[in-house]
Amino acid sequence: MNEEGGRAEQALQGMFENAAKALQYHREAGAGWRDDEKTVDAILRRIGNLGEAAKRMPVARRADHERIAWREIIGMRDRVIHGYDDVDPDILGDVLEHDLPELMEQLRQLGVE
């Protein structure tokens, strides 16, 4: 595998692992996750890390995986990193309930686990 292929695999793996951890924290906290500052912080950290991993994906390789919402993932990372106190809990909840499970399924289809 060439260097770019190795970076791509690491990026995909990092995305998967951080999505899984964010969902784990959400699940463990239960319905009151929004009221637990540590849980929200941990979830935001993992979403930021996920976006950072997505940014490390070589741009040329992103086109190979066009079903993945690269722009949105990286945009969420930027929002979390540069203005996390302004993240709408409803949007974060939607990311946790819909976007991350969908992303993980897309990554599984690529053989990432």
Which among 77, 79, 98, 108 is annotated as catalytic? 77
- From first to last of its 113 residues, what are the pLDDT tens digits of the chain? 677 789 999 999 999 999 999 999 999 999 999 999 999 999 999 999 999 999 999 999 999 999 999 999 999 998 888 875 678 889 999 999 999 999 999 999 999 99
Which among 71, 82, 98, 108 is annotated as catalytic? 82
Q: Supply the Cα-derived Rg of the chain in whole angstroms.
A: 14
Active site residue 56: no
Contact 19, 46 (CB under 8 A): yes
Active site residue 82: yes
* Total residue count of the chain as it appears in this document: 113
Q: How far apart are CA 97 and CA 104, in angstroms?
A: 12
